[in-house]
A and B are shown apart, each in its own frame.
Chain A
Amino acid sequence: MTERLLPTPSQTIGPFYGHALPFPDGGQVASQGHPEAITLHGYVFDGAGEVIPDALLDFWQAAPDGSLEGAPGSLRRDPSTGGFLGRNGLDFTGFGRVATDADGRYALHTLPPGNAGLPYISVCVFARGLVHHLFTRAYLADGADPLLDSLPADRRATLIAAEGANRTYRFDIRLQGEGETVFLEFQ
């Protein structure tokens, strides 16, 4: 039995990550014009119902074929300029990163996840004022699911994205208060 090390504590992302972590097309996980592409979008709200314009969301999901392997190349850099080269448009990396805009809104353009069970996209929320990130899930369908079934109806509803026109799914995130999103811890 090896000695268990103690974890490094979390700290806030702060307000000034904008020149560092977001990258061009961070929300464009599907290649442009892919016929199967879907858009997951919504707003991030605080406990007063105000939008949060300085949140950062990381997304992780299964590929359409159910694979959880992912692929490198989400953040591809240009070795000659150090600039951003962009995804190659062919490999599905499974990873996206979007900062909320001035209206507190985000949009992720991706492919439908093919995980076993109900399809969902895993979301990690960072923001100024949040000293420890929050995990949640955007389910793209409702149905039998061990996590959803463990929740009362009103809380369950916060994890299910509302399907709209043109393969869009609306998923708002409320950090506090009425309609507070269910946040998860993994054991």
Chain B
Amino acid sequence: MKEKKKVPKTSWKKKDFLGWMIMLPSIILFAFFVWEPLIESVRLSLYTAKGIHTEDFVGFDNYLRVLRHPDFMDALKNTFVYIGWSLVIGFAVPIIIALLITETIHFRSLFRVGVYFPNIIPGLATVMLWGFFFRPGNTGVLNILLSKIGIESQKWLNNAALTIPLIVLTMTWKSAGSTSLIYMAGISGINPELYEAATIDGAGIRQRIRFITLPSVFSLAKTLLILQVIAVFQILYEPLVMTNGGPNNASISIMQLVYNYAFRDYKYPMAAALSVMICIVLIILSGIYFKLTTKKED
């Protein structure tokens, strides 16, 4: 790649060639780490395998085995429950954080940094840390805190009805800060004259939020919503570490099923089949995302 020193006026073709040559190493990496594994997943899912070596072509057998497995329905149901709770808890929190911080003038940068802080804590440390908070019995931190205001200790993660909401709470704690920074940037970008005009027309604070602030974050919210659904759809290590899918499959996620098939049972083809199904759903969701974002730019 040294002959490029003397190319003051390269022909179009040469310029294209150089461009692709410069990108080539990165393209190879993308191919190896991102694109090829997707194709390999499809191939692997259609074969039987011994360890990592594929043996016979079996068509969609692996898919059927995955679909018929009793855990699948649990995982599928849970995934919707995860998404549901993440919409209830996780979606509004960043917007509220952003609204509150933009409405204060004191310590604003401290708050911004503070709410972003959980984001830099490693995900694994986050779930282990919240595992201590949600401990049943007297040493669980939440129970300690609640006992001070006279609330009895709870079983938290051992309570099947609470597991998923609590896991979603943990995820929200970790990631709300970064999302809210995006909303904050969006809110700060609103033309201040809009507010002034509205005020002259007699709009109070509540009306201004309702008719100016919220509509202008709406398009941002739509795209962030899809991104959130995509992220929650492949939730893995939170249930894996916090509850190991329990109690009694109450929090097992689809990705965790993939993990179990592949790295607990060493059934790579089944894991690949399930991955492919997840991928198809994600591709559909991504398609929706692209539609939303391109509309925004019109």
On whether the two chains bind one another, the answer is: no
Which residues of A approach B to under 8 Å, CB–CB? none
